[in-house]
Homo-oligomer: A and B are copies of this chain.
Amino acid sequence: MKKIIDAVETVVDQALDGMVVAYPEYLVRVAQTSVLARANPKEAGKVGIVSGGGSGHEPAHGGYVGFGMLDAAVAGEVFTSPTPDQVYAGIKAADHGAGVLLVVKNYTGDVMNFDIARELADADGIRTEVVLVNDDVAVQDSLYTTGRRGIAGTVFVHKIAGAAAEEGLDLASVKAVGDAVVANVASMGFALTSCTVPANGKPTFELGDQEMEMGIGIHGEPGIERVPMMSAKDVTARLFHRLVDELSLTSGEPIAAMVNSMGATPQLELAIMTAHLGQLARDGGLVLERVLMGEFMTSLEMAGASLTLLRLDEERARQLRARADTPALRIVGH
């Protein structure tokens, strides 16, 4: 295992400190917790938004804490759900008196621990709601999940529900906006290589020199099938058509897309996929209103990528365009 670390036990703790060194104008770490919260919290009255989950998916989720997205992010150990008390610390940091929305990726451990945290919040009089993200169309159930997994589409939930919260919508309305994103977003990914969880010290799985794994999860969970290496054109088309089918997208509809690196994929390769995405959208008559290209929901140093499509309506398009100012996503408005 070749990693730039000091000890496997301290990886997440040190990285959280590093985030604050890198982004002091955005982030503070809540003392004695694995919670990153806004350095300049919004005044009273805004619905708070909290997300989180296992570490190893950076910039998710601490990178999305800031104006227009999250109020706090809770980090578990690598690929391990944060404990309920950590999640509750995040809820408290995000609470401005108008309730807190939890954006949870659908993994059994996350669902359970965020639920227990909600009970703790309830006992203290903090209202919470949950948006459960399950955008990964690859598999129905998996190693860590009942139902579909939550992956990169989660970032669109952060962005759009985050914009709704900044607009001053109430908790039920912000939840409704988030749920509507979930109902209209789909993702699927593939891997060229595995990744190595520091505490395990060796790759989670092995792939041959000419193999790729379609439908991979963000923790190296198995996908649909192993296939021979495909061209950029073919793999992008396969993902695109699968997602278009899933969302029943039809010609003329406006969409947003995310071309997400799993961690080690060069930006040059993401850009080639994005060129194909542009052509596929044109061929299908879809109006590609915005593309996010880069590292948004990674899996440590895994090589590979995921594609996410989101159906837009006028409201979601506006909320996607709205200003966001976070370490990992800054939308300045054009």
Contact = CB atoms under 8 A, between A and B. Distances in A.
A22 B293 contact: yes
Given A263-B266, A264-B303, A18 B274 contact: yes
A56 B266 contact: yes
| Chain A interface, DSSP helix/strand/loop, else mixed | mixed
A83 B231 CA distance: 28
B18 A275 contact: yes
B6 A233 contact: yes
Q: How many copies does the complex hold?
A: 2
A198 B57 CA distance: 27
A6 B273 CA distance: 10
A25 interface: yes
B231 A22 contact: no
A273 B235 contact: no
Interface in A5-24: 5-6, 11-12, 14-19, 21-23
A23 B334 CA distance: 11
Contacts of A17: 271, 275, 278
Interface string A193-224: 10000000000000001101000000000000
B15 A271 contact: yes
Nearest to A305: B4
A320 interface: no
A82 to B, nearest CB: 15
B192 A2 contact: yes
Contacts of A334: 25
A321 to B, nearest CB: 10
A161 to B, nearest CB: 21
A116 interface: no
A-B residue pairs, 5 tightest by C-beta: A18-B271, A21-B278, A18-B275, A58-B267, A264-B264
Contacts of A2: 192-193, 209-210, 212, 229, 303
A271 B5 contact: no
A291 B332 contact: no
Contact of A291 (B21, B63, B265, B298): B21
Contact of A192 (B4, B59, B192, B212): B4
A301 interface: yes
Q: Tell which of A273, A301, A303 has the most Cβ of chain B within 10 Å.
A: A301
B192 A5 contact: no
Contacts of A300: 266, 268
